[in-house]
A and B are shown apart, each in its own frame.
Chain A
C-alpha cells in the first residue's frame, strides 16, 4: 500500500462529507425540487469584476451553474437544485480551492427572504443526518443552530463592527478590506447569521430593493465567521442586466483582466423568467463547519498542491 498519510488522515472528514452531500440531496428531494445537471464547460461565464474563469479550449469552465439554471427557471422549471464542481482561477487559501463544490438552488415566485428560511431548514436537517444536534463547535465557537438565525444588514454590520460607516467605506474604497478584517470574523459566532442588503454595485445579478434603490436584495450566510452561502432575488430585467454586465466588464478591463463575451442566450431568455430567488452554497465550507476543520484542504480528497 502506498503510504499517503495525509490522505489517509482525512477518512473521517471524507465520510462526513459523503453523508452531508447525501443529506443535502435528500432534503431537496423531500421538498419537491428537481435535481439538475447543467454543463460544466460553457461558452462564457457571467461577467463579474472579481471572478475569473479558467479557459477550456475556446470556452470556459463554469464559475457557477447560475446562467444555465436561470435559463431553466425561465423555461418553467420552478424548483431546481444542483450539486456540482465549479472553477475560479487564482483562488487558493485556507478557505479557497480553485476547484470546489457548489450547491445551488432556485425557486420561482419568491424573494431572498424565503431562501433564508430554506438555509435554516436545510442546515438543521443536514446536521441531523450526520448525527449532530442543535449545537456545534466550529473555530472554537459553540454555535446554536436553532432558529431563527440572526439577521443583520450590511449597513448595521458596519455600525456594529467597523470604525467607519458603509457609505464612508465605499467612498474611501475600503469596503472589502473592512469586510474581511473587521466584519466577517464577527459574523455567526453564536448562531448562524444572515448579512443582507449589499450596496447595489456589489450585486451584479440581483434585484434592487424597492424601498431603497441603493441596496440590492442580496444576503450572505456566515457560520463561525466563515462565509457559507450567497443569495439574491434575481434581477429579471434584460436591459438592466446587460448594462450591469457591461459595467462589470469595464471594471475588468480597468483591472487588466480579460473581458468576457456577454451571455446573449441568457439575456434573451431572462425576459421570460418569473420573479425568483437563487442561492449558491459552498459545500466544502459546510463540511468544514460540520467536521470543525481548520482549512478547506482538510475536507477535500486532494488539494491542488497534492496533485
Chain B
C-alpha cells in the first residue's frame, strides 16, 4: 500500500477500481492545518483527468500494470484480436480501449499491450509503421496551383495528409505518435 506521503509524479494507483497515474502533485499545508496532498490524476483507461486532494494517512493500492509483447492478428467488428508472443494466448481489445492506436494496426504488427488486472487497457505501438495508401487523388506534375498536401486514405481506413507526389498503392511510413506522414518507403 502507498500512503498519501508517497504520492509523487508518475506513481500509479488504483482509485475506484481503475488505474490512475499521478500527473501533477503538490504538498500543501494551510497555516497550522493538516498536510494536504493535491494531485492531478489521469485515468489510464479512459484518459480523463481528475483533481483530488488527499489527507495524511490515506492509503492507496498500487496499480500494478504489466506489459506483454503481442502481435496484432485481425479485427472482427469492434473487437481487435491479439496474440501473446510467449504464451500464444489470444486476447480481445475493444476499439474504445485502443483509441487512436487502431489507425495503425496492420496484421502481424508487434506491439506492447498494457494489462491491468488481466484486462488489456492499452497498446504501445512502435513509433513508426508502414501502411499502404489505398486512395488518394492523382497529382499532375508541374501543377503548382494545388496545395502542398492532399488527403489520402491508408489500408486501415485512417485518413491523413500526404505530399502531392504520393500515389495510390504506395507504401508510406507514419509516425504513430503524431499520426502524420513521415516518408515514402522505397522499392
A residues bordering B, Cβ < 8 Å?
Answer: 48-51, 90-96, 175-177, 179-181, 184, 198, 202-204, 220, 227, 230, 255-256
Contacts and interface: CB of A to CB of B under 8 A. Distances in A.
A177 B36 CA distance: 7
A160 B100 CA distance: 44
A202 B57 contact: no
Interface of B: 5, 26-36, 38, 53, 56-57
A220 B33 CA distance: 12
B26 to A, nearest CB: 5
Nearest to B53: A177
Nearest to A88: B29
A180 B32 contact: no
Given A255-B56, A255-B57, A256-B57, A180 B27 contact: no
Nearest to A256: B57
Given A177-B53, A181-B38, 4 more contacts: A50-B35, A51-B32, A175-B33, A204-B32
Contacts, number: 59
A226 to B, nearest CB: 11
A176 B36 contact: yes
A91 B27 contact: yes
A176 B32 CA distance: 9
User: Of residues B30, B31, B34, B53, which shows the largest number of chain A Cβ atoms within 10 Å of its Cβ?
Assistant: B31
**A-B interface, 10 closest residue pairs, ranked by CB to CB distance from nearest:** A93-B27, A176-B33, A179-B30, A50-B34, A220-B31, A230-B31, A180-B28, A93-B26, A180-B30, A176-B34
A204 B5 CA distance: 25
B90 to A, nearest CB: 46
B48 to A, nearest CB: 20
A91 B27 CA distance: 7
Nearest to B5: A90
18 contacts: A50-B29, A50-B35, A51-B32, A90-B5, A90-B35, A90-B56, A93-B26, A94-B26, A94-B27, A95-B27, A95-B28, A96-B28, A180-B53, A202-B33, A204-B32, A227-B30, A230-B31, A255-B57
A95 B31 CA distance: 12
A180 B57 CA distance: 18
B123 to A, nearest CB: 35
B57 A50 contact: no
A255 B58 CA distance: 11
Contacts of A90: 5, 35, 56
A220 B38 CA distance: 21
Contact of B32 (A181, A202, A255): A202
Contacts of B56: 90, 255
A204 B30 CA distance: 15
Contacts of B29: 50, 91, 93, 96
B10 to A, nearest CB: 15
Nearest to A94: B26
Contacts of A91: 27, 29, 35
A119 B32 CA distance: 19
Contacts of A198: 32
Contact of B33 (A50, A92, A95, A255): A50
A4 to B, nearest CB: 23
Nearest to A179: B30
A204 B57 CA distance: 22
A184 B26 contact: no
Nearest to B33: A176
B122 to A, nearest CB: 30
A50 B53 CA distance: 17
Residue among A50, A94, A175, A176 having the largest count of chain B Cβ atoms under 10 Å? A176
Contacts of A180: 28, 30, 33, 36, 38, 53
